[in-house]
Amino acid sequence: MTSTALALIQLGAVFFALGVLGRLAGRIGMSPIPLYLVGGLCFGEGGFFTLDGIGDFGHLAGEIGVVLLLLLLGLEYTADELVTGLRKSWMAGAMDIVLNAAPGAIVAFMLGWGPVGALVMGGVTYISSSGIIAKVLSDLGRLGNRETPVVLSILVFEDLTMAIYLPILTAILAGVGFFGGLQALAISLCVVTLVLVIALRYGHYVSAIVDSKDKEVFLLKLLGAALLVAGIASAMQVSAAVGAFLLGIAISGSTARNAAKVLEPLRDLFAATFFVVFGLNTDPGTIPPVLGWAVLLALATTATKVVTGWWAARRQGVAVMGRARAGAALVARGEFSIVIAGLAVAAGAVEGELAALATAYVLLMAILGPVAARVVEPLVGALRRPQKPSGGQAQASDPYLTT
């Protein structure tokens, strides 16, 4: 059998399996990310058998998946929303960093992975999954709830934090040293500032450049622009993912809405490939030794995210039930955590066990997040349900249970 035939067979089998896994995830009401990771674990290093024919394609497809994930995320926001969200949520965002990055960094030091491992694991445990959270909020009909703007503002702050964090991480993983990291940070801040200014004042020109009434032309211009910007950003020691995210911010109005519709199928395809490739490169035999740490991190960071959301919602005057929903909504981790771990593993600058820990952690959190968002309302309602007073008189309803 020729190498081309083998690659086509293996690629076809992977895509078909992804479709089956995605349908299964939809049936049971969960994110497909954990199933994609498990699929990669089964057929990668140490799995049932190794897929050798799609290595190069899988790596490139995974990179495109990251670019499209961040591009679509950027399309969700306008520059005005980013600036407004940053102003409203900076205190909650700072608290979010401290509470949720610390557990990952501490565990990395305890496992002897040093400062670089701590920087990586801090990012893995810090960032919530915007994709999973948006899907859960939509499925549960909570997009119009009073606490939802609080959740979205924290996610915006996290995304902006990633625009600073990823260039620093990339520079450190490349071994450029402290001053190289400072240079990467300076470049990143300049690029972010420039893009925000362009988006605020000249966003309609950017939208006009990529817009087209012809869907084929529109798709080619969008994808071409995203890959160009990502490649240029990577060459400037700024993360390719951040470059794509900033391009998404610069596209606004009806062009952004149409771009999201056109790119969603491609994003889903390549993003799924990215998660599978990450699983393929992780030996499942390395997970059991770190599973206890993954469970410990899952429990700790579930609590810290709930505290973050509760506190942020309370500052906005949201009642107790809304505070609980805000905290539970932020629990899920997913695509960004794997992106961070993937950058570290690809650079070869961290221990192999880190990929296993990140995979196990994301598997747990991608499952736990949607479950927590669904059960928090009946759970809090049951805990705070007023008891009937003696004498048969009905007690007034509890105002803290209101939205």
Amino acid at 321: M
| Comparison of pLDDT for 96 and 401, the residue scoring more | 96
Cα dist from 74 to 70, 196, 223, 322, 323, whole Å: 6, 12, 14, 26, 26
**322-352 tens-digit pLDDT:** 999 999 999 988 777 888 888 787 777 666 6
Do residues 89 and 154 touch, judged by C-beta distance below 8 A? Answer: yes
Residue 403's CB: how many other CB atoms inside 10 A? 12
Residue 6's CB: how many other CB atoms inside 10 A? 14
Task: Tell me the mean pLDDT in the region 100-120.
Answer: 92
Rounded distance between C-alpha atoms, residue 31 and residue 136, angstroms: 9
In this model, does residue 100 exceed pLDDT 70? yes
Do residues 376 and 306 touch, judged by C-beta distance below 8 A? Answer: no
Q: Is 112 left (phi over 0), alpha (psi -120 to 50) or beta?
A: left
| pLDDT of amino acid 53 | 60
The beta-strand segments (E) located in 212-277 are none
| Comparison of pLDDT for 396 and 193, the residue scoring more | 193
Which residue do the tokens 């001053």 mark? 179
Task: Tell me the mean pLDDT in the region 118-126.
Answer: 93
For the entire predicted model, the pTM comes to 0.72
The domain locations on the chain are 12-49+69-381
Rounded distance between C-alpha atoms, residue 159 and residue 85, angstroms: 11
User: Confidence band (pLDDT; 50, 70, 90) for 36?
Assistant: confident
**287-317 tens-digit pLDDT:** 889 999 999 999 999 999 999 999 999 988 8
| Comparison of pLDDT for 388 and 285, the residue scoring more | 285
| pLDDT of amino acid 349 | 61
User: Confidence band (pLDDT; 50, 70, 90) for 82?
Assistant: low
CA dihedral sign of residues 147, 150, 156, 162: negative
User: Confidence band (pLDDT; 50, 70, 90) for 156?
Assistant: confident
Rounded distance between C-alpha atoms, residue 26 and residue 143, angstroms: 20
In the DSSP assignment, the letter for residue 386 is P
Rounded distance between C-alpha atoms, residue 176 and residue 171, angstroms: 6
Q: What is the CATH number of domain 12-49+69-381?
A: 1.20.1530.20
Rounded distance between C-alpha atoms, residue 24 and residue 18, angstroms: 10
SS3 (DSSP) at 183: helix
User: Confidence band (pLDDT; 50, 70, 90) for 110?
Assistant: very high
CA 83: distance to chain centroid? 20
Average pLDDT of every residue of the chain: 80
In this model, does residue 87 exceed pLDDT 70? yes
Rounded distance between C-alpha atoms, residue 324 and residue 322, angstroms: 5
The beta-strand segments (E) located in 301-346 are none
